[in-house]
Every structure is written in C-alpha cells, then in structure tokens.
Amino acid sequence: MNQFVEINFDGIVGPSHNYAGLSLGNIASASHGGDVSHPRAAALQGLEKMRGNLVRFGHQGFLLPLPRPNGKLLEQLAVDAHTPRQLLAAAWSASSMWTANAATVSPAPDTPDGKCHLTPANLVTMLHRGQEWPETKRMLETAFSNVDHFAVHDAIPPSFGDEGAANHMRLCEGHGSKGVEVFVYGRPGGKFPARQHEQASRAVARLHGLDPAKCVFIEQNPAAIEAGAFHNDVVAVANEHVLFTHAEAFADQTSAYDAMQSAFPALEVVEVPSSAVSLEEAIRTYLFNAQLVTRSDGGMALIVPEECRTSAPVWAWAESMLASNGPIREVIPVDVKQSMANGGGPACLRLRVVCDPGTVDPRFLLSDSKADMMAAVIASNWPEQIDPADIGSDALTSSVIAARKALLSALDLTELG
C-alpha cells in the first residue's frame, strides 16, 4: 500500500513583490502596473492560506522566493540609468511565488520507472519569468533530492514556451492510482501571446515517459486567451475524477470532453455556463483559479479568491451549485488580494505534488510552529510597501536581499542563498 497524498507546495511571496505591469495578456498585471505593492501583507496572506489548508488537509509544503534582484540578468542586459524601467523591474520580479508555473509534475503512478517526474517550466514568453527556471530547478533538486522517488529534469529548450502545471491537469480515481494527464496548449496568432506551446507539452509528456494512451492534448479557446486567460488554470481545474471548467475554456468544448472521457471514463464535468458567469467575470474573479481539494470525507472543497464572494453572479452560481449536491460540497474564500492584483489566484500560488511525504526534504514541509516562525521573519524583514519608483535603489536592494537571507537561515536552507 503506497502512502501517496497530494501535497500543495505554495510559493512564499518574495520581499521584492511589486506591480510592474510586465505580463502582456494578464489583465490584472496590466491594470495594476505602477501601483504601490505591499510585500509583507502579500507574504502573510499567502501564509494564512497555507495555514488554513494545513489544518484542513493535513499536508502543506512551500517553495522559497528566488534571489532578487537577479544580478546576472541585470548584467546580461547591461541595465543602466537609461534602460527602460521594465527591464530593471524584470530582474526584481517576485514572480516565482506562482509555483503553478514552477514545473509540470507527473506522479509516480503515471510513470514507467515509478518515480515522480518534475520538469521546471522554461517560461520563455516573458523575460521576468524566463529567468526563473535554473534556480527553480536547484530548489526542486533540494526539496526532492531522494533520487529513488523523484527525477528532476532540465526545462524544455526554447522556443517552445512551457508554463508548467498551470496548463496541466490530472484525472484519476484517487491520487495514488494511475492517472490521465491532460495538457492544454494555446495556438499563437492572437492579440495576446499563447504562452503554452503544444510541442512543449508533448515534449514534457515524452520526457516523463507517460503512456500515450493516458495523455490528452487539448487546445485552449483562443477567445479565452484574448479575454485574459493567459493560462488554462484561469478557466479550468481538475481534481481526481472531477473537471471544474468554464463552458468556453477549450477551443472545441465537446471534443475536449470526449477526448478526456475516452481516456478516463469516470470523468465528471462540473461546467459553469456563460449565461451564469461570463468569461470576463470568471477571469476578473478567478473562480476557476481555485484549489479543488478532496476532504477526508471524500467530498471536494473549492478554495476560491475572496473576489468570488463579492461577485453577485459568481456567488449566486456557487450557492446553486452547493444546493445541487454535486461532487463539490464546500466553497472556501481566501484573501490573496496582493497576488490577485498581479493575476495570481489561490491555484497559481501552489504546485501539486503527489508523493509520500516521507520522501520529501522536511525543510520544505509546513507545520504550525514553522508557520509561526515564518510569519515572524516576514513581519520583521519584508518591506511594508514598494513604490515602483524605488525599484533599483540601494536601500531597497539591501533590504530585499537581507529579508530573503533571514528566511533562508530561519529554515536552515542557506545552501539556496
């Protein structure tokens, strides 16, 4: 009997969290570019979400912020006082907090060698994200260093954009059983970039040795990308046998359901029609950027952003869905406003890894007392706010570097320094 459980590894919001308007096609990022950010509040909001899930589900992991500013990127771009601010801001981005883009994960039951395979996402479409993967890989190799149970690959080479788990869903009877992996990609040519390339998805599936009969490749709806669904996880999420999706998520919705159903006959679709929640409202509230999680009684809970509760159509739909007695029994709003303003909801902030918790480096697993300790380090070291005009200043540089160092030493992870 294996001990496989799903562990959500949330990204801790880094001390340089700021709003630089860097992500074309991400409506929240574009509309908040230039705002003053609140890194301390952002990191504490993320930590509260983790604490809640630890109590509810018993397991919670985390990944650390990457080193910022990225001196190597500043050097490579020869950034000076005349360089456009956005290039400077790229090297300061705390975007590694959105760990749904850290990697694609194929758990051991799906792979031929019985190991959990992880491929860091190359994130090549956006400069500020494309710098992440080498450091992300180093962190994954530390957290999942047990080579009997894990295999960590290099990222897929450019120019095929890969955005990781945000465009990947796994259907299964239970987390420990063999699953069907669903890869969702976008076709280029629209007004916004299609950040996940079909060939990147196919390469990840091959790299992980997945059984082709247990893989499904689906095209994202170009209209959803145009409306601001820059990742599939903005319009759909799956857990075990349930797919929770907007009716306009895929290019051909009926064929998408058919393809998933023929690979995984037990599929149960919970579809939200456009008449109940428009694509625009779904993207504004991030209803689908939810964590769909199995409770101990087998029912599922949907962890949604607070913004869903204050949307009349979304909340009305949620109430009618709960009354209908479907597979989702509970809707839990959480406050991640600081991340939301950059286009990152509850699901963006986590990477799901199905594994035996005993095989993970325990320094990356949360406990109550560790959460208290992390909250104290964040409260006394993370900047209270960042005005985009301060990015690049000597004072802010020293303060964000020192803040991250303080957390690494508190967690005994200085080797990632």
285 binds ligand SUG (CB under 6 A): no
**What single-letter DSSP state applies at residue 190?**
S
CB of 161 within 8 A of CB of 125? Answer: yes
Catalytic pick from 172, 215, 308, 348? 348
115 vs 129, beta carbon nearer ligand SUG = 129
25 vs 333, beta carbon nearer ligand SUG = 25
201 binds ligand SUG (CB under 6 A): no
CB of 335 within 8 A of CB of 286? Answer: no
Minimum CB separation from ligand SUG for residue 391, in Å? 10
* Helix residue spans in 77-116 (DSSP H): 85-92
Minimum CB separation from ligand SUG for residue 272, in Å? 18
Query: Per the omega criterion (within 30 degrees of 0), is the bond before 159 cis?
Result: yes
Considering only 63, 100, 215, 318, the residue that binds ligand SUG (CB under 6 A) is 100
Of the candidate spans 52-60, 91-99, 291-299, 305-313, the one that interacts with ligand SUG by CB under 6 A turns out to be 91-99
305 binds ligand SUG (CB under 6 A): no
Residue-wise over 195-224: b if at least 16 C-beta within 10 A, else e?
Answer: bbbbebbbbbbebbebeeebbbebbbbbeb
Residues 108 to 147 in contact with ligand SUG, rule: CB under 6 A: 129
294 binds ligand SUG (CB under 6 A): no
Query: Per the omega criterion (within 30 degrees of 0), is the bond before 193 cis?
Result: no
21 binds ligand SUG (CB under 6 A): yes
106 vs 342, beta carbon nearer ligand SUG = 342
172 classed as catalytic:
no
Catalytic pick from 6, 32, 38, 163? 163
Of the candidate spans 75-83, 96-104, 132-140, 198-206, the one that interacts with ligand SUG by CB under 6 A turns out to be 96-104
State the Cα–Cα distance between residues 305 and 332, nearest whole angstrom.
Answer: 8
**String of contacts with ligand SUG for each residue 313-342, x by CB under 6 A:** -----------------------------x
State the Cα–Cα distance between residues 186 and 25, nearest whole angstrom.
Answer: 13
Residue 293: beta bridge partners?
301
Considering only 96, 101, 131, 399, the residue that binds ligand SUG (CB under 6 A) is 101
Considering only 7, 12, 13, 22, the residue that binds ligand SUG (CB under 6 A) is 22
Residue-wise over 230-240: b if at least 16 C-beta within 10 A, else e?
Answer: bbbbbbbbbbb
166 binds ligand SUG (CB under 6 A): yes
Angle, helix 368-381 to helix 394-410, in steps of 10 degrees: 160
214 vs 239, beta carbon nearer ligand SUG = 239
Residues 28 to 57 in contact with ligand SUG, rule: CB under 6 A: 29, 33
State the Cα–Cα distance between residues 310 and 118, nearest whole angstrom.
Answer: 37
Minimum CB separation from ligand SUG for residue 194, in Å? 13
| Phi, psi torsion values for 61, nearest 5 degrees | -115, 175
Residue 130 identity? G
17 classed as catalytic:
no
Kindly give the pairing relationship between strand 291-294 and strand 268-272: unpaired
392 binds ligand SUG (CB under 6 A): no
Catalytic pick from 17, 231, 241, 246? 231
Whether the CA torsion 396, 127, 165, 107 is positive or negative: it is negative
Minimum CB separation from ligand SUG for residue 323, in Å? 29
Cβ-count burial of 84 within 10 angstroms (0-12 exposed, 13-18 middle, 19+ buried)? Answer: exposed
Considering only 8, 45, 60, 93, the residue that binds ligand SUG (CB under 6 A) is 93
Angle at alpha carbon of residue 179, lines to 177 and 182, rounded to 5°: 160
Residues 219 to 238 in contact with ligand SUG, rule: CB under 6 A: 230-231, 233-234
Tokens at 167, concatenated: 């465009």
**What single-letter DSSP state applies at residue 277?**
S
248 classed as catalytic:
no
Instruction: Please work out the total of residues on this chain that contact ligand SUG, with binding judged by CB under 6 A.
Output: 23
176 vs 346, beta carbon nearer ligand SUG = 346
Cβ-count burial of 76 within 10 angstroms (0-12 exposed, 13-18 middle, 19+ buried)? Answer: exposed
Residues near ligand SUG (CB under 6 A): 19-23, 26, 29, 33, 93, 95, 98, 100-101, 129, 166, 230-231, 233-234, 342-344, 348
Catalytic residues: 163, 231, 348
